[in-house]
């Protein structure tokens, strides 16, 4: 069984909260979350930085939307190794935005969104270095190559849509 780290925006887009993403992307995110539930193990940090963010942005007790239903599914299966793998990450600042497990790389440290570092640290702390699932943040396109240098891959949903967004914002592809 393969493992994966999931950026919060995949859940938000599945719920239709990624207002700048298309319906096709929403469906792709929803289907990918269903595939994770059926065939993969979600990697989370034992400090609840990721799961806490999920719970802050999605209400697992509300009417079941795809993202909130996924959070509820995780909460119900958090003790089942078949579905969830826990790793430790070590915060190195009081804001909980830098981690010892984040790659020591000046270019990443200079440009990487502090709110997203927990996903990279979690993937890097896991023995298999699972991919990070991403869907709505075009900045990840610019980080892909440096992360790959450190053995961390990114699975980008809605890639063409994100490339178009990134090109509009930065002129990059």
Residue 91: what pLDDT? Answer: 97
| pLDDT surpassing 80 at residue 171 | no
The tens digit of pLDDT for each residue in 90-134 reads: 999 999 999 999 999 999 989 899 999 999 999 999 999 999 999
| Residue 123: per-residue pLDDT | 98
Give me the phi and psi of 31, to 5 degrees please.
-65, -35
In the chain, the domains with their CATH numbers are 2-170 (3.40.50.1010)
Taking CA 69 as the corner, what is the angle to CA 59 and CA 85, rounded to the nearest 5 degrees? 100
Residue 172 pLDDT:
57
- Is the CB of residue 172 less than 8 Å from the CB of residue 166? yes
One-letter-per-residue 3-state SS of the chain: CEEEEECHHHHHHHCCCCCCCCHHHHHHHHHHHHHHHHHEEEEEECCCHHHHHHHHHCCCCCCCCHHHHHHHHHHHHCCCCCCEEEECCCECCCCCCCECCCCCCHHHHHHCCHHHHHHHHHHHHCCCCCCEEECCCCHHHHHHHHHHHCCCCEEECCHHHHHHHHHHHHCCC
Judged against a pLDDT cut of 90, whether residue 19 lies above it is answered with no
Q: What is the pLDDT of residues 27-79, one digit of tens each?
A: 999 999 999 999 999 999 999 999 999 999 999 888 789 999 999 999 999 99
Give the model's confidence band at 18: pLDDT under 50 very low, under 70 low, under 90 confident, else very high.
low
Q: Does the pLDDT at position 144 exceed 60?
A: yes
Q: Give the H or E element holding residue 32.
A: helix 23-39
């Amino acid at each position: 069984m393969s493992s994966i780290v999931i950026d919060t925006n995949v859940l938000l887009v599945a719920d239709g909260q990624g207002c700048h993403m298309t319906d096709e992307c929403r469906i792709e995110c929803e289907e990918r979350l269903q595939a994770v539930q059926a065939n993969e193990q979600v990697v989370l940090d034992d400090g609840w930085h990721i799961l806490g963010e999920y719970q802050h942005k999605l209400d697992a007790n509300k009417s079941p939307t795809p993202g909130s239903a996924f959070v509820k599914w995780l909460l119900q299966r958090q003790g089942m190794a078949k579905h969830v793998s826990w790793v430790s990450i070590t915060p190195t600042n009081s804001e909980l935005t830098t981690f010892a497990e984040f790659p020591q790389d000046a270019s990443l440290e200079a440009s990487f969104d502090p709110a997203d570092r927990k996903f990279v640290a979690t993937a890097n702390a896991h023995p298999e270095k699972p991919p990070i699932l991403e869907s709505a943040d075009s900045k990840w396109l610019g980080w892909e190559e440096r992360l790959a240098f450190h053995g961390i891959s990114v699975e980008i949903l809605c890639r063409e849509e994100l490339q178009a967004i990134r090109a509009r914002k930065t002129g990059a592809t």
